[in-house]
């Protein structure tokens, strides 16, 4: 939870009577605005860290309830009265049920409340009993954060201390609702927590890949409790994945495994992880095989039999001569086909809501007239007649039609070792065979480059685009 303070110097949220709260939504996320009674200027804005309205309203309600319970502005309150309030709060923190969204949100909320309590203790005119209550309240919030990580013991101890009796039976039924030490922490559950935290930070297409990868790993690990996992479990996972997958695919899954496991260790869900050093060597078989030059030529010969206004003709042709990813092509607009330094290019960008795999994917790629018979003039006429988008199908349909065309024309196997993505491998192979410098090849394909950096939109753009255009002409000879 992020709190923004506005014109409230010297005022503490925990010691202020609040006006009616106000909720609003910005960039998909929900926020709670709090204002002290008696003033129209000062207010606090709290980010609820969720895009789900129901979750936001639940979190908001609980925040307000907690703030009200922590009001420490009554100097007449006795320790017994304050202790009773603290016991209620501690018990609620212990027994509250959480979903994946609220687990992440409440860890941040408790952090912010602890900071506010410290401010109240440092600046507020408090009695000894109030200071004692503020100190215990901070202990409660710290223990509540531990409970969110599956370690409720400290919070149970605080409840017993404040109540003067063991927690007993009433608390026990609620413990199964949280991530607690007695519950197996499976990869399916752990990856769910990871994805809930990351979902607002990654592109939708990337999140689909994350879900797919995590599901494949979860299917193998099943009910294994990761709190007790061993190196043998991780080696067994690798062996099982290799039974029906290529080495490069397994490497990608193991990379995803390590990402989730590292996150779990850093966030206190696991004490240690045994997933390192499992990946295969760098020359592991690729999950995609390049198309041969004969296959590429056969595909281009097929495109020339299609009508000049057939979108399939140009989508397939662009795949061949630019090596662009299928989603990069699907999102192209009329404005993305332009000239840079006298060279016609396609501009792969994030304008108008388009997405890209990485920042290195943002690039321009020259269009090579005559490559495998590509007709630049006919393509530009197609572009001119198009509306805003060159291709109007959704992602699934677009991919299905193009990959289906490749299978039909080239009689490909159904094992997906050769797909539309294989055209990228074909172009990469042609660039390598033509001894094109690695930096230039990476700029064309949109790979990260540690050897050279291109300014494709600045003063030197014409020079760099010219260099790429010449490299492609050589590769296509």
pLDDT tens for the chain, residues 1 to 477:
444 444 333 444 444 455 566 677 777 777 766 655 555 554 556 666 667 777 667 666 655 555 555 545 556 778 888 888 888 888 888 887 776 666 766 776 777 677 666 655 665 566 787 788 888 888 888 888 888 888 888 888 888 888 875 544 333 333 333 334 446 789 988 988 888 888 777 777 678 888 888 988 998 898 899 999 999 899 889 888 888 777 878 888 999 999 999 999 988 888 889 998 888 765 455 556 788 999 999 999 999 999 999 999 999 999 999 999 999 999 999 999 999 989 999 999 988 888 887 777 889 999 999 999 999 999 999 999 998 999 988 877 888 899 889 999 999 877 677 889 899 999 999 999 999 988 888 889 987 544 333 445 454 577 889 999 999 999 998
How many CB atoms neighbour CB 226 within 10 A? 20
Q: Which residues contact 112 (CB under 8 A, 6 or more apart)?
A: 1, 2, 3, 46
Strands 3-6 and 29-34: unpaired
Please give the Cα distance from 49 to 229 (Å, whole number).
32
Structure tokens of 252? 């990608």
How many CB atoms neighbour CB 309 within 10 A? 12
Residue pointed to by tokens 């506010």 = 116
Q: What H or E segment, with its residue span, contains residue 104?
A: helix 100-123
How many CB atoms neighbour CB 19 within 10 A? 15
Please give the Cα distance from 375 to 369 (Å, whole number).
6
Q: What H or E segment, with its residue span, contains residue 232?
A: helix 231-242
Q: Would you say 264 and 225 are in contact if contact means Cβ atoms under 8 Å apart? A: no
- List phi, psi (to 5°) of 337: -105, 110
What is the set of domains in the chain, with CATH numbers? Answer: 3-175 (no CATH), 187-266 (1.10.150), 293-476 (1.10.443.10)
> Helices in 27-170 by DSSP H: which ranges?
53-69, 79-95, 100-123, 128-148, 153-163
- N-to-C CA span, the chain: 58
């Amino acid at each position: 939870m992020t709190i923004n303070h506005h014109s409230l110097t010297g005022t503490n949220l925990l010691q202020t009577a609040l006006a009616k709260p106000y909720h609003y939504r910005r960039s998909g996320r929900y926020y709670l605005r709090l204002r002290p009674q008696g003033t129209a200027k000062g207010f606090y804005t709290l980010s609820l860290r969720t895009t789900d309205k129901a979750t936001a309203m639940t979190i908001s309600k609980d925040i307000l309830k907690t703030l009200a319970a922590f009001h420490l502005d009554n100097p007449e309150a006795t320790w017994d009265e304050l202790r009773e309030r603290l016991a209620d709060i501690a018990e609620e923190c212990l027994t509250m049920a959480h979903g994946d969204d609220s687990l992440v949100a409440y860890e941040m909320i408790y952090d912010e409340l602890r900071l506010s309590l410290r401010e109240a203790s440092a600046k507020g005119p408090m009695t000894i009993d109030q200071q004692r209550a503020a100190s215990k309240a901070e202990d409660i919030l710290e223990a509540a954060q531990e409970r969110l990580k599956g370690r409720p013991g400290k919070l149970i101890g605080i409840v017993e201390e404040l109540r003067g009796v063991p927690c007993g039976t009433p608390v026990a039924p609620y413990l199964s609702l949280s991530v607690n030490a007695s519950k197996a922490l499976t990869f399916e559950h752990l990856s769910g927590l990871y994805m809930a935290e990351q979902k607002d930070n990654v592109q939708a297409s990337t999140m689909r890949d994350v879900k797919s990868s995590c599901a494949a790993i979860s299917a193998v690990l099943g009910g294994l409790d990761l709190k007790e996992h061993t190196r043998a479990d991780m080696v067994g996972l690798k062996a099982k994945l290799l039974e029906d997958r290529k080495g490069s695919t397994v490497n990608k899954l193991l990379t995803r495994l390590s990402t989730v496991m590292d996150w779990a260790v850093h966030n206190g869900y696991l004490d240690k992880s045994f997933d390192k050093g499992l990946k295969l060597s760098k020359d592991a078989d690729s999950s995609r095989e390049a198309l041969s030059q004969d296959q590429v030529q056969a595909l281009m010969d097929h495109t020339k039999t299609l009508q000049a206004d057939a979108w399939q003709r140009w989508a397939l042709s662009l795949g061949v001569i630019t090596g662009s990813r299928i989603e990069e092509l699907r999102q192209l607009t009329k404005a993305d086909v332009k000239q840079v330094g006298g060279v016609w290019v396609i501009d792969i960008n994030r304008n108008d809501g388009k997405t890209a795999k990485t920042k290195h994917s943002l690039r321009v790629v020259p269009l090579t007239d005559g490559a495998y018979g590509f007709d630049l003039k006919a393509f530009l006429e197609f572009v001119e007649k198009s509306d805003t988008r060159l291709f109007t199908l959704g992602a699934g349909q677009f991919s299905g039609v193009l990959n289906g065309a490749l299978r039909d024309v080239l009689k490909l196997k159904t094992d997906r070792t050769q797909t539309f993505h294989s055209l990228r491998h074909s172009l990469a192979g042609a660039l390598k065979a033509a001894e094109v410098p690695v930096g230039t090849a990476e700029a064309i394909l949109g790979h990260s480059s540690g050897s050279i950096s291109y300014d494709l939109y600045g003063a030197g753009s014409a020079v760099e685009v010219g260099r790429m255009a010449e490299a492609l002409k050589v590769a296509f000879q």
